[in-house]
Structure 1
Amino acid sequence: MGFKWFKSFMVAALSLFLVSSAQSVFAQHEEHAEGAATEEKFNPGEAILHHIADAHEWHFFSFKKEDGTEFHGTIPLPVLLYSPQRGFSAFMSSVFHHGTEVYNGYKLEHDKVVAVDANGNADESVKVYDFSITKNILQMIIALIVLVWLMITMAGKYKTGQGVTSAPKGLQNAIEPIITFIRDDVAKPNLGPKYQKYLPYLLTIFFFILINALFSMLPGAANVTGNIAFTAILGIIAFLVIMFNTNGHYWQHIFWFPGVPLPVKLLMIPVEIMGIFTKPFALIIRLFANMTAGHIVILSFISLIFIFTEMSKTAGVAFTPVSIAFAVFIYLIEILVAFIQAYIFANLTAVFIGEAIGDHHFEEDVVSHH
């Protein structure tokens, strides 16, 4: 019964995602088509980047009314700005009217708030620090609430004895194998007897990445895991956790690798120092690139419909089933990628922490014997 419900949910989510994506791309297409004669044709790259970028409002759909005006289905979000020249400002993004209006000396240009002068032109002499609650931030807050609710609910069930004296049920039955997998296949092999100290952190980053990645597959959702700022913060946190748990053996292997000839040691020092920073950097780029690529591929297939339509309406109609079929396939792959990327980030983090806290006496003995 639960599996049938899950399948129905995924079919509905997939359908809404494709409709929402197509609507977004189509809206971009219409904006270009209604421009002046010198206006460029539909630009799929611009439409795709606009769809996956962060924004100061949560846009779901757009359509034209009978009087020719456009209706935008959006949720306005709080705009919080600080300028050394103008002070602090707080208002809702709806006052910008989707970038067409100036408010309080600020204007929204390409989803970025800029200061303007009395004539409405950008004033570069005014520095603006944007602390707004954007679409990505709001979705992260929602994901955090879901994560906390999920874990507190499961903890409450264990306290009552469900899953301890009796078999787990419902959502607990689905989450428990994942927790056990992270414990037995990620934490224990890489961290040894100290795994319990770092298991809460590994579980947190795994589920936080997974929930945000799955949310991004829903129609109109933000592409949080495909935002470089999001992955950068996760990478920086991992870097700090690694650095604060290093020991003397770790730094000895960085600056004076045992059992290696002196000339090689001198060559290895800069390489090892660079490796300290490239490890978290690899975590950042891997998650960002993989999650962004999936959305771009899906939207690219949908964009092909409009590209072929500009060439010939018959070609556009004929290619539509092919485009949708490929988009559905990539969508299903993206669900798998969400789990894989969450696992890889948690596993590599455990590997790097294990290197920092590990006892290298055994390695030194092996090297000395050789």
Structure 2
Amino acid sequence: MGSNGFKSFLVAAFSLFLVFAGQSAFSQHEGGHEAAPAEQHEAGEHGAAAESAFNPGEAILHHIADSHEFHFFSFKKSDGSEFHATLPLPVLVYSPQRGFSAFMSSNFHHGHEVYNGYKLEHDKIVPVDANGNVDESVKVFDFSITKNVSQMLLALIVLVLILTSLAKKYLKGEGVTSAPKGFQNAVEPVITFVRDDIAKPNLGPKYKKYLPYLLTVFFFILINNIFGLLPGAANVTGNIAFTAVMGIISFFVILFSTNKHYWEHVFWFPGVPLPVKILMIPVELLGVFTKPFALIVRLFANMTAGHIIILSFISLIFIFGEMSKGAGYAFSPVSIAFAVFIYVIEILVAFIQAYIFTNLTAVFIGGAIGDHHYEEDVHPHH
């Protein structure tokens, strides 16, 4: 019951966040229309509509992209000014011409102001001159703690705390000489699942060597997937840079697990006619690199697609609202219902994608280790 209540709370909070975030676009649209002078009413109306019309593609890309701040919601106050509920993050930039600079992203005032010779354009820090124009002669290296980086570090801290706390309990004998209790009772079946259903079937007797890595990959991706479903959080696993690093690490683990039998099957496939061997070499060699590429793209595409679908359903409210306010309010329950449905599925997908990445990694490592019973049967050792 507690778990179901928590999920319901997350869904409701996520829906309200998106509704409030989109409502600011309508507030700007209405305010721009009223501010048009009477003599320029027609031109002002079209100009304001063009400026503040809701752009679903831009809104969706903005929500799934990386940023220098956590943005939770916005609304227009009674005096016409806007309030943005944000959490600014540290900006760390180095320029060979200007040296090192460190400050908070709040100094940019959401990209409206220049600070210390830099400004924010489309969530990217660019150098500017005294007139506020982009200075192409200045080179900038951005080492800022963006929301993807900060959330990934938070996930890493949570992962370390969870696993170290469990390790201490096992060292004390809890879960060994007695039944596991509390959170340990919830995590232990997951560890057993990774060991018995992923590591052992794919790696055989060598599973203990790779089990720590597989568990780390599974829990790290799972924690980041779940964090990405929280309102205002970053979609870390929907960032191609994150999945690329995870895939490259797995790629090196696979390479270091190879042996001469593996490379024989890549460069000189046994039991195959010579012409076919020559044709198979580039195919098998390409397969060495396509395996980690499949890991990278699969995780990135699935986690990004889920967020885009949810945001697309919410965007329909404002698309219909621009046609007619009545249509927007009428379609809201339908749109939110579909968004909540996809959101619940995304919770399941968070676990599935962590499992698929870990399982495929184990499969590829198992292929690198190789099962050579066939060769031993055909060419027995004397």
> Would the aligned equivalents of 2:21 and 2:75 in 1 still touch at CA under 8 Å?
no
Compute the displacement of 1:367 (Å). 11
> Where does structure 1 lack aligned partners over 5 or more consecutive residues?
none
Compute the displacement of 1:163 (Å). 1.2
Residues 1-370 of structure 1 mapped to structure 2, 5 A cutoff: 4-31=1-28, 37-38=46-47, 39-40=50-51, 41-362=53-374
Matched residues, number: 365
User: How has the CA–CA distance of structure 1 residues 169 and 263 changed in structure 2, closer, same or farther, with 3 Å as cutoff?
Assistant: same
User: How has the CA–CA distance of structure 1 residues 365 and 28 changed in structure 2, closer, same or farther, with 3 Å as cutoff?
Assistant: farther
Instruction: Show CA shifts across 1:233-268 (max 9, x none).
Output: 100100111112211111111110100111111111
Compute the displacement of 1:33 (Å). 5.7
Name the aligned partner's letter for residue 7 of structure 1.
N
Name the aligned partner's letter for residue 316 of structure 2.
L
| Cα distance in structure 1, aligned partners of 2:376 and 2:269 | 9
> Would the aligned equivalents of 2:23 and 2:75 in 1 still touch at CA under 8 Å?
no
| Cα distance in structure 2, aligned partners of 1:133 and 1:31 | 30
| Cα distance in structure 2, aligned partners of 1:33 and 1:114 | 32
Could you state the TM-score of these two structures normalised by the residue count of structure 1?
A: 0.95
Q: Alpha carbon RMSD of aligned pairs, Å?
A: 1.7
Give the % identical residues: 74
| Cα distance in structure 2, aligned partners of 1:334 and 1:46 | 22
Could you state the TM-score of these two structures normalised by the residue count of structure 2?
A: 0.92
Name the aligned partner's letter for residue 11 of structure 1.
S
> Would the aligned equivalents of 1:249 and 1:359 in 2 still touch at CA under 8 Å?
no
> Would the aligned equivalents of 1:25 and 1:48 in 2 still touch at CA under 8 Å?
no
> Would the aligned equivalents of 1:33 and 1:42 in 2 still touch at CA under 8 Å?
no
User: How has the CA–CA distance of structure 1 residues 120 and 332 changed in structure 2, closer, same or farther, with 3 Å as cutoff?
Assistant: same
Compute the displacement of 1:28 (Å). 4.1
> Would the aligned equivalents of 1:28 and 1:47 in 2 still touch at CA under 8 Å?
no
| Cα distance in structure 1, aligned partners of 2:104 and 2:357 | 36
> Where does structure 2 lack aligned partners over 5 or more consecutive residues?
33-43
| Cα distance in structure 1, aligned partners of 2:376 and 2:57 | 53
